[in-house]
Amino acid sequence: MKRSNFHFVRQINEISVLRIIRDQGPISRSDVAREMGVSKVIIGGIVKRLLETNILFEIGKGQSTTQGGRRPVMLEFNADAGLAIGIEVHLHRANILITNMNAEILHERAVKFQDNSNPEAILSRIVKAIQRLVSDNEKILSILGVGLALPGLINYEDGSISTSHSLKSWEGFPIKKYFEDALDTTVYIENDVKAITLGEFHWGAGLDTKNVVYIWLGEGIGAGIIINGEIYRGITASAGEVGYTMIAVKGINEGSYPILYQGQDRFGEILSITNLEKCMEKAVSLNGESSYSPGEEINLESISKAAREGDNLSNLALKEFGQILGALTINVINFFNPELIILGGPVIDLCPTVLAEASKKAKADDLHIPADIVQIKAGSLKDRAGTLGAVGMVLQDLFKPPIVNLATYRSLILPEKSTASQEQLYD
């Protein structure tokens, strides 16, 4: 076997061993060999190397087999051997999450800023916050990678934002390179809604699924798409921009939705917090039956609170919002035929009526088979979905089959000490 092929096969085998021990440990070398269908000699060589790197522990002896014999030494995965960092950048803050290799949260911090026009200054503050949280040089060296979730369309080749409404001055800035230089680690960059989708897929409402569409509702609307376990970006990385979908659905008119429909052309114009608040202000000014006091501020939180307290106008507005969202959800179901639709964002978090109405509308679609099969759930990770999704960008390459990112794996292991005898174990 050529030397380059030998190294590739060995590292694939090592990752497979790590996955088995992480998922099934404590486990013996013999059971790992049986699981992989290879000899104990090969597993012995792999485990010896991994023990030297501190990725694995020997934790004592297990039970002997029914045939007797020596009790096997049990192996356990050391999740704390490496750190993963997730960062989600918003209009006026950046959320930082540091986890071990099991995505267990070790540190969490928010960096706030009013002026977002100087990306380098803000990124410098984020890096310093990470260095304070990690605290020592040895731990800095154990960082496997950084995942970045950013609003807007992403240029994956340059590691920058192509276009963004909220971070206009960041467009074209080499964000990925900045973090790579500052922290000397692998950096992954992704659109924020797609990162949120990854978070829910790996650790939230999307667990144990393969085909998922996540619809986020806030200042705008966007979607993340998982097909066969992989995030789908599209040729221009703009897959999921459902807010630009034209409203060409029967029944969305002023007569059916008198509060929210004001002649909008696209779903993104009507299914936004801003539109909901403005339309409610107008409706309250025209309707004497509202429970709002004169001059009272109307925002998403007050609308949600008023609806819970029985305000008829607020409840009507949220029902309209949910039904219009349900019409969009029907389009998504019929186009992608997913097993799961996840609805998330502040509107869903604060207003359960929206989820209920959207589900009811979608389930009543004429094309009943895909509508009957699909599950419709609220996201479960709330404000952590984006940062956990960013962490997932780092960890999925290491542990989620069939993806294998050897660059990430190599950052875990010690400098190679290959010998001819070692190589023979893997051939």
In a domain, 404, yes or no: no
> Do 61 and 120 reside in the same domain of the chain?
no
> Do 62 and 179 reside in the same domain of the chain?
no
pLDDT of amino acid 137: 63
In a domain, 407, yes or no: no
Domain span at residue 183 reads 83-203+385-399
> Do 13 and 151 reside in the same domain of the chain?
no
> Do 190 and 122 reside in the same domain of the chain?
yes
> Do 7 and 150 reside in the same domain of the chain?
no
> Do 376 and 229 reside in the same domain of the chain?
yes
> Do 246 and 364 reside in the same domain of the chain?
yes
In a domain, 12, yes or no: yes
> Do 265 and 243 reside in the same domain of the chain?
yes
pLDDT of amino acid 423: 41
> Do 87 and 76 reside in the same domain of the chain?
no
> Do 374 and 395 reside in the same domain of the chain?
no
Number of separate domains in the chain: 3
Query: Whose CA is closest to 245, among 181, 311, 324, 133?
Result: 324
> Do 276 and 199 reside in the same domain of the chain?
no
In a domain, 242, yes or no: yes
In a domain, 87, yes or no: yes
> Do 358 and 419 reside in the same domain of the chain?
no
- The neighbour count for residue 204, using CB atoms within 10 Å, is 24
In a domain, 406, yes or no: no
Amino acid identity for residue 240 in this structure: G
Query: Is beta strand 230-232 parallel, antiparallel or unpaired with respect to 221-227?
Result: antiparallel
The CATH number assigned to the domain holding 76 equals: 1.10.10.10
In a domain, 324, yes or no: yes
* pLDDT tens digits in sequence order for the chain, 427 residues long: 444 455 556 677 788 888 888 888 898 988 899 988 888 888 888 888 888 888 888 887 766 655 656 788 899 989 888 899 999 999 999 999 999 988 999 999 999 999 999 999 999 999 999 999 988 665 777 888 999 999 999 999 999 999 998 999 999 999 999 999 999 999 999 999 999 999 999 999 999 899 999 999 998 899 999 999 899 999 988 899 999 999 977 789 989 999 999 999 999 999 999 999 999 999 998 876 778 877 789 999 999 999 999 999 999 999 999 999 999 999 999 999 999 999 999 999 999 999 999 999 999 877 788 888 999 999 999 999 999 999 999 988 666 554 445 455 555 554 444 434 444 433 3
In a domain, 405, yes or no: no
The CATH number assigned to the domain holding 223 equals: 3.30.420.40
pLDDT of amino acid 269: 95
